[in-house]
Amino acid sequence: MKKIPYSQTRRSFLGKSATGATAASILPRHIFGAPHVPPSEKFGTALIGCGGRGPGTYSQLCKGLDVELVGACDVDTTKSKRFSLARSKGKAESYQDFRRLLERKDLDLVAIATPPHWHASISIAAAEAGMDVLCEKPMTRFVAEGRAVVNAFKRYGRVYQIGTFGRFNRSNDKASILKHKIMSSGLMKDCNAVRMKKGGLKIKQWSGTPGIGPQTIPETLDWDLYCGPSPWKPYESRRTGGTHRGYWDYEGGGMCDMGQHHFDPEQWTYAKDHTSPVEITPFAPPSHPEVTGMWAWVELKYADGFKFVMESGEWGPSYDRHPVRDVSLDDLSKDDQEKIKSMPDPEPLLSFGEAVKQRKQAGGHPEAAHRAACILHLANLAIRLGRKLKYDPDKEVFINDNEANRFLNPPMSAPWRI
Amino acid sequence: MNTKEILNAFPQPEGKILRNIDKEACERAVEQIISGGRKITREIIDLILEPGNGDDIRPRHAIHATAIRVGGTGKEIERNSFASALASTLNDDRPKAVKGFVIRQLQICGGAKQAEAIAHFLNDSEEHLYEYSAQALEVIGGATIEYFRTAYPSAKGAPRITILQGLGLLQDKKSRPFFLSAMQDTDLEIRLAGIWGLMRISSAKDAELMLSQSLKEKGWGRIKATAYCFELAEKLAKNDQSKEAKAIYIRIKKSHSEKQDAYLRETADRGLVQLK
């Protein structure tokens, strides 16, 4: 176990604590349990996935916490070594295999910024090892992974925050709070609101390049470990390093790259953190087997009638099925409007740092993150399959469409499994 | 439309991506592939090459487009016909990588009638065919279990863990002896697949063995094996076997007394509370 000096505040805490005898290293979160954790405690941290968004995601993990980087992990060792050097002068140990990193006893908090096909498996494993997690968006590559993450963090009582933070602003915005109250009140029947996201989903930017052909694997990259739970494919450089977003095996195009940023706060505003759409209608050409491509629009309708619409603005016709309109207090009767006005504001959302210290759920908790990711996955599946899909948000399966259901929980490559 | 006209409906990359795609032309082409039967399908498959051996973007796109478009209610006849045509190409003298592509399309549209053709590759290590074969069979479902059972005893290396994991994924209770035996293997990941398999079949009578094995493991093995014991307890609780679930939680609490295992004791406590 790596020996790390105590900070003054940490030492003074241990002096008053029954666990003071162990004062030789950072004590992992799971020694203390919950919820009485002094704000001065130092946390052992690590980053898994050190390229691209990695450093930024790690900074988010550290906000408001006293931390010490103890490990950096990447399937490409040049990236983990570079990050360790930049953030710990090389003191943090560099790993290629996250399994070895998670075996450490001095690790409390893990930032995950791998490509998304690894997000769920590593998040779950980190929870199983007793760690709290801040995971880059999108939360998952497919629907069943999200449910498995939710179950794991509930089982182990760990803190999880998805790496998008728009909902924190919305939860402090008066207009958004009002809409949240209207939609969470249950008073809105047969809602005809349509919220549209037009453009900004980087469809062309994150379309993949087909037909490149096998290339030589860089010496520092463990390609088999990179593929991990996704189907093995011959190495092509564009399958890594950011352009991975354009391949179905790892992400899901601009929809998944940008979608969680947009729809996570929308989902909070319209009080849909607990559910998913029931009907998904796409307009898209047949997709390519490997790479993401063009689509025009997708409509996602919830059980109460509320609709999210995505219009790519980069290909095909505009959406014209329903007029775009927002939720309004005027949609309700005078009596119901008074009920809304007397409703208390929703509880403030806790940041990751606050949640870790208080041992409470973070604002971007697993269920909310999963439901937001489901919006993207369901939209993408409708785009890929090219047909209207009916979805049961409780059972999390498509209704009367066995072939579509195959995409909700595709088998992983051994030895990876959820 | 002949094969060339069908394929011309699909785009070639412009600026590296498929930015100009004609939805209606593609949909018409898919209809032609479906109505063209085995002959057209085979002609297109003939144009698919090993990766790096030439341009086959359009044939791959056309086959995949058809595989996804023949799904859904009311298309059973077309789906079976197309899947049968695809499966028939697996018997040909073709590059293994092309067969891999075909199997991946059968994962989308194949059914029990194509399972035998797919299962032929369960023990084939070339081009990861074992992996593609197993995954296609797994989504087809329970009707394919016998192929996994038959293939497992002779499996070695990567196919072995893939097939074992497939038996667990399909929750095959008859594979209990395989899972028990795997738990004693020298390879950690095989042992974990064995414990996972026993969890998947909710084998209450093996809970003690699983717990004992989890305690023998170290590091990653211990993390995962303990997790599978927790998952078994949850499955048993859902199956009205609270007594057996409780025994697992209590055993984990007692056997994980180290300071760094506090979170496991807390997890067990939460499980016990849920039982009440």
What's the whole-number average pLDDT of chain B? 97
Nearest CA to CA, how far is A63 from chain B (Å)? 24
- The pLDDT value given to residue B177: 98
pLDDT at B138 over 50: yes
* CA–CA distance, A361 with A370 (Å, rounded to integer): 14
Q: Hey, is the C-beta of B121 within 8 angstroms of any chain A C-beta?
A: no
* CA–CA distance, A393 with A60 (Å, rounded to integer): 31
Residues of B in contact with A399 (CB under 8 A): none
Residues of B in contact with A213 (CB under 8 A): 51-53
CA atoms within 13 A on the CB side of A415: 19
Which of the two residues, A29 and B259, has the higher pLDDT score? B259
Residue A153 dihedral angles phi and psi, to the nearest 5°: -70, -30
pLDDT at A16 over 50: no
Pick from B108, B134, B223: which is nearest to A406 by CB? B108
* CA–CA distance, A114 with A157 (Å, rounded to integer): 23
CA nearest to B196 within chain A: A417
Residues of A in contact with B7 (CB under 8 A): none
pLDDT at A292 over 60: yes
Beta bridge partners of A45: A69, A109
Nearest CA to CA, how far is A251 from chain B (Å)? 16
- Over range B2-27, report the average pLDDT: 97
- The pLDDT value given to residue A41: 75
pLDDT at B77 over 70: yes
- pLDDT tens, position by position, A300-312: 999 999 999 999 9
CA nearest to A97 within chain B: B220
Number of other CB atoms surrounding residue B259 within 10 Å: 13
- The pLDDT value given to residue A31: 52
Q: Please report, rounded to a whole number, the percentage of residues in chain A having pLDDT higher than 70.
A: 90
| Partner-chain contact A32 B162, CB within 8 Å | no
CA atoms within 13 A on the CB side of B257: 3
pLDDT at A25 over 80: no
CA nearest to B68 within chain A: A385
Q: Hey, is the C-beta of B272 within 8 angstroms of any chain A C-beta?
A: no
Question: How far is CA B149 from each of CA A254, A267, A416, B100, B123, rounded to the nearest angstrom?
Answer: 41, 45, 20, 22, 12
| Partner-chain contact A284 B72, CB within 8 Å | no
pLDDT tier for residue A40 given thresholds of 50, 70 and 90: low
In sequence order, the 6+-apart residues with CB closer than 8 A to the CB of A123 are A112, A133, A135, A149, A152, A153, A160
For B:88-107, CB contacts with A below 8 A are 101, 104-105, 107
pLDDT tier for residue A23 given thresholds of 50, 70 and 90: very low
pLDDT at A10 over 50: no
- The pLDDT value given to residue B253: 97
A378 Rama class: left (phi>0) / alpha (psi -120 to 50) / beta: alpha
Q: Hey, is the C-beta of B200 within 8 angstroms of any chain A C-beta?
A: no
pLDDT at A20 over 70: no
- Side by side, the strands of the sheet bearing A132-136 are A93-95, A66-73, A42-48, A109-112, A132-136, A160-163
- The pLDDT value given to residue A30: 52
- The pLDDT value given to residue B26: 98
pLDDT at A21 over 50: no
- Over range A41-55, report the average pLDDT: 95
| Partner-chain contact A386 B69, CB within 8 Å | yes
- The pLDDT value given to residue A28: 52
| Partner-chain contact A211 B128, CB within 8 Å | no
Q: At what angle do helices B57-69 and B76-88 cross, to 10 degrees?
A: 140
Interface predicted TM-score (ipTM) over 0.95:
yes
| Partner-chain contact B230 A155, CB within 8 Å | yes
Question: Do B131 and B157 form a contact (C-beta atoms < 8 A)?
Answer: no
Question: Do B96 and B109 form a contact (C-beta atoms < 8 A)?
Answer: no
- Over range A166-191, report the average pLDDT: 96
Domain ranges of chain B: 174-276
Tallying the residues shown for chain A, one arrives at 418
- Over range A290-300, report the average pLDDT: 98
| Partner-chain contact B263 A246, CB within 8 Å | no
Question: Do A316 and B23 form a contact (C-beta atoms < 8 A)?
Answer: yes
Residue at token pair 């094996």: B225
* CA–CA distance, B213 with B228 (Å, rounded to integer): 11
pLDDT tier for residue A189 given thresholds of 50, 70 and 90: confident
| Partner-chain contact B139 A410, CB within 8 Å | yes
Question: How far is CA A273 from each of CA A258, A368, A375, rounded to the nearest angstrom?
Answer: 18, 5, 11
Instruction: Kindly give the pairing relationship between strand A397-398 and strand A389-392.
Output: antiparallel
Q: Please report, rounded to a whole number, the percentage of residues in chain B having pLDDT higher than 90.
A: 99
Q: Which domains does chain A have, with CATH numbers?
A: 8-167 (3.40.50.720), 173-208+245-349+366-405 (3.30.360)
The 3-state secondary structure of B65-76 reads HHHHHCCCCCCH
- Over range A131-145, report the average pLDDT: 98
pLDDT tier for residue A280 given thresholds of 50, 70 and 90: very high
| Partner-chain contact A209 B16, CB within 8 Å | yes
- Over range B172-185, report the average pLDDT: 98
Nearest CA to CA, how far is A245 from chain B (Å)? 13
Residue B94 dihedral angles phi and psi, to the nearest 5°: -130, 160
| Partner-chain contact A128 B224, CB within 8 Å | yes
- pLDDT tens, position by position, A245-276: 999 999 999 999 999 999 999 999 999 999 99
Contacts by B138-143, CB closer than 8 A, 24 or more apart: B138/A411, B138/B166, B138/B169, B138/B170, B139/A406, B139/A410, B139/A411, B139/B107, B140/B110, B140/B111, B140/B112, B140/B114, B140/B115, B141/B112, B141/B170, B142/B170, B143/B112, B143/B115
| Partner-chain contact B21 A103, CB within 8 Å | no
- The pLDDT value given to residue B1: 86
**To probe the interface with A, which of B76, B133, B220, B263 has the most A CB atoms within 10 Å?**
B263
| Partner-chain contact A410 B16, CB within 8 Å | no
CA nearest to A289 within chain B: B64
Task: Give the residue from A302, A282, A107, A91 showing the smallest Cα distance to A195.
Answer: A302
Question: Do A116 and A141 form a contact (C-beta atoms < 8 A)?
Answer: yes
Nearest CA to CA, how far is B161 from chain A (Å)? 7
Pick from B63, B139, B260: which is nearest to A31 by CB? B260
In sequence order, the 6+-apart residues with CB closer than 8 A to the CB of B110 are B83, B86, B87, B118, B136, B140
Nearest CA to CA, how far is B162 from chain A (Å)? 5
CA nearest to A235 within chain B: B51
- For the four alpha carbons of B119, B123, B129 and B133, in that order, the dihedral sign comes to positive
